[in-house]
Chain A
Amino acid sequence: MENIIKVNNLVKEFSGFKAVNHISFEVKKGEVFAFLGPNGAGKTTTIKMLTTLLRPTDGSVEVNGFNVLTDKDDVRRSLGIVFQDPSLDDELTAYENMEFHGVLCRVPTDLRRKRIEELLKFVELWERKDSLVKTFSGGMKRRLEVARGLLHRPKILFLDEPTLGLDPQTRNHIWSYIQKLNKEDEITIFLTTHYLEEAEKVADRIAVIDHGEIVALGKPKDLEAQTKTHTLEEAFLTLTGHGIREEEGSALDQMRIRRRMRGIR
C-alpha cells in the first residue's frame, strides 16, 4: 500500500528545547494510525507540523504527496482536523459553525445542508442547532467539534484526542462512525488518544512517542510482544515509564526510558 504521510527526520525546537526530536515514520493510505504518548511527549506539536500550523525546525513532511512547507494549500485541502482544544466560535450557533466550515472547505451547498443535518443528528445536537455555542456544555461542544471535522470528508482526518471528556456511550458512538468513514470512504485516520483501549480497538498501527522521540511502532499485538506484556496499557507503561509527567520530562525519566528501550530492542 502506498504511503499517504511521509515524515523524515522531523524536528521542532522551541527556544532550545526539542519538542520533537528527529522522528521519521510513514502512514499508509487507508489505515488508522494512532499516536500514543504521555502528556508533553510531542503529539500535538507533531500534528501541528503535519497540518501546516507550525513550521518544522528541520526535516521534511509530505502529506498526500504535497510538501507541508511549499504546498500548504494543497496539504490543507487534503486534510481535516479535530483539535484537542476548543476551536468553535462561541458567538455563532451550532449550525452556523458547521456552515462556516462547510463553505470554507468548499462543500457544495446541497451536499453541505444534507451532511450538516446528518451529522448534527448523529451527535444529537440537531434540536439545538440554532442555539449559540456559548450556551453549550463541554460535552456538547466536543461533539460539535467532531461533527465539524467530519463535514468535508477529507483524504486524511487528524483527530487530536477527539473523545477527551466524553462519556463512554458517546465515545463508542463516535468511534464507530469514524471506523465507518475509514472503511467506506477510505479516509486515512491519524489519531492521538489517552484511552489505550480505544487505540487498541480502532488502530491498525500505533506509534509510541515520548520526549519527542518515537520509542516503538507497530501493530498493537507487536507492541505487546516486544515488551513481553499482555495488554497495550502494560506495554505503554513499560515503554514510557510510570512517572507522572510534567510538560517536560526529567532527566531521570529520560534515562529510565533509554534503558528500557535498549532492553527491548
Chain B
Amino acid sequence: MSAIYIMWLRQLKRHFRSKARLIGSLGQPLLFLLGFGFGFGSIYQRAGGGSYIQFLAPGIIAMSVLFTAIFSGIEVIWDRQFGFLKETLVVPVSRLQIMLGKTLGGATVATIQGLFVFFISLLVGFRPTNLSLLPLAFLFMFLIALVFTAVGTAIASTLTDMHAFQLIMNFLVMPLFFLSGALFPLEGLPKVMSLIVSLNPLSYGVDGIRGALIGIFNFGVMFDFMALLGSSIIFLFLGSFLFGRIEA
C-alpha cells in the first residue's frame, strides 16, 4: 500500500510544482470555452439548441480531464528518457503496484484539473441546473481520468522515444475528443460516426458529466457509469500487463 501511496504522491508533487504547466494546461480549455462557446453560441441558439455554453462546458471539462490523464500516463516515456524508470523497475515492488500508484496519481491530477476547468466555466457563464448532482459529475470526471491515464500508460509502455508523442496527439487524443459529443449533440449523426462515437469511452464520460450538470443524458446514467467502469478495468489490466513487460 505504501508503494502505491508514494507513487501517487510523486505524480501530485510533480504536477503541482510546475506553475508553468498548471497555467498552460488551463489556457487551452479557456480558449475552447471562449472561442467555441461565444463563436458558435448564436448559431446554436438560432438553430433551436438553447445556450451553447451550457451544452459545451461539460464537454470542455471532459476534454481537459482527457488531455491531462493521457499526458500523465505518457510520462512513462519521460521517465524512461531521464532514467528514472529504471529506479522504479528494480525496487522490490510488484509492477502492478507501481502501475496502480502512477495511474491513481495521474487520475487524481486529471480530476483536479477538471475541477479547475469547472470553476473557469462558471466564470464564463455556465450554470449547472442541479447542484446536488455535482458529486456525480466529479465521479464521472474521475472515471474518465482513470480510463485515459491507463490508456496513456499502456501506450507509453510500448514506446521507447518521445517522438511518437505527436503521433499519439494527432491520431488518438484529438479524434477521441472530437468524436465524443463534447462539441456537438449526438442526435442525427451519420451511421459510421455514430458507431465510432459509441465505441469511444470518452462519449460516456461526456454524457455522464453533462447529464449530472445540466440534466440531459443521451445514453442514460447507469449505462454511462457501467461503460466507463468496464473500460477502466480493461485498460488498467492492459496497462499493467504492458508496463510489467518493460525492459530497461
Q: Residues of A with Cβ closer than 8 Å to B?
A: 48, 51-55, 73, 76-77, 79, 81, 83, 85-92, 96, 99-101, 103-106, 132
Contact = CB atoms under 8 A, between A and B. Distances in A.
Q: State the majority secondary structure of interface residues on B.
A: helix
Given A48-B248, A104-B3, A81 B83 contact: no
Contacts, number: 70
B170 interface: no
Contact of A76 (B14, B85, B90): B90
B127 interface: no
B6 A73 contact: no
B17 A91 contact: yes
Interface string B1-39: 011011000100110011000000000000000000000
A131 to B, nearest CB: 13
B91 A105 contact: yes
B10 A89 contact: yes
B84 A51 contact: no
B82 interface: yes
B89 A92 contact: no
A104 B14 CA distance: 18
Interface residues of B, number: 24
B94 interface: yes
B14 A53 contact: no
A105 B6 CA distance: 11
A104 B88 contact: yes
A106 B97 CA distance: 13
A101 B91 contact: yes
A87 B83 contact: yes
Given A76-B90, A79-B90, A85 B247 contact: no
Nearest to B14: A91
12 contacts: A73-B92, A76-B90, A83-B86, A86-B82, A86-B83, A87-B84, A88-B84, A96-B10, A99-B6, A104-B88, A104-B91, A105-B92
